[in-house]
């Protein structure tokens, strides 16, 4: 084994805090990415299921514009 004891392994000749902080950040980011991906997949599947059910029932929503623009006359008296 390259290290004499567990405490020497954790200290890593003075580089331990940097190394273990990097590992910690990696694990936290990986866990966050996994949770975010699961939630995103769940919402996408739910939206697909709702669309499928709506189409199956024949109640397709009519497409309407995302925004309406109305011309406003402004007088500068």
Give the ranges where 2-77 is alpha helix by DSSP (H): 6-11, 16-56
Q: Is this model's pTM higher than 0.85 or not?
A: no
User: How do the domains of the chain map onto residue ranges?
Assistant: 3-63
pLDDT for position 62? 57
For 23-62, give one letter per residue: b (16+ CB within 10 A) or e: eeeeeeeeeeeeeeeeeeeeeeeeeeeeeeeeeeeeeeee
Name the residue with higher pLDDT: 31 or 65.
31
Q: Write out pLDDT tens, residues 1-59.
A: 578 898 988 898 889 999 999 999 999 999 999 999 999 999 999 999 999 988 888 75
pLDDT for position 21? 96
């Amino acid at each position: 084994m390259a290290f004499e004891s567990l405490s020497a392994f954790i200290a890593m000749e003075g580089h331990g805090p940097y190394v273990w902080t990097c590992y910690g950040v990696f694990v936290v980011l990986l866990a966050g990415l996994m949770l975010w991906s699961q939630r995103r997949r769940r919402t996408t599947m739910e939206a697909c299921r709702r669309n499928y059910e709506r189409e199956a029932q024949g109640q397709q929503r009519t497409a309407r514009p995302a925004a309406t623009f109305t011309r406003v006359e402004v007088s500068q008296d």
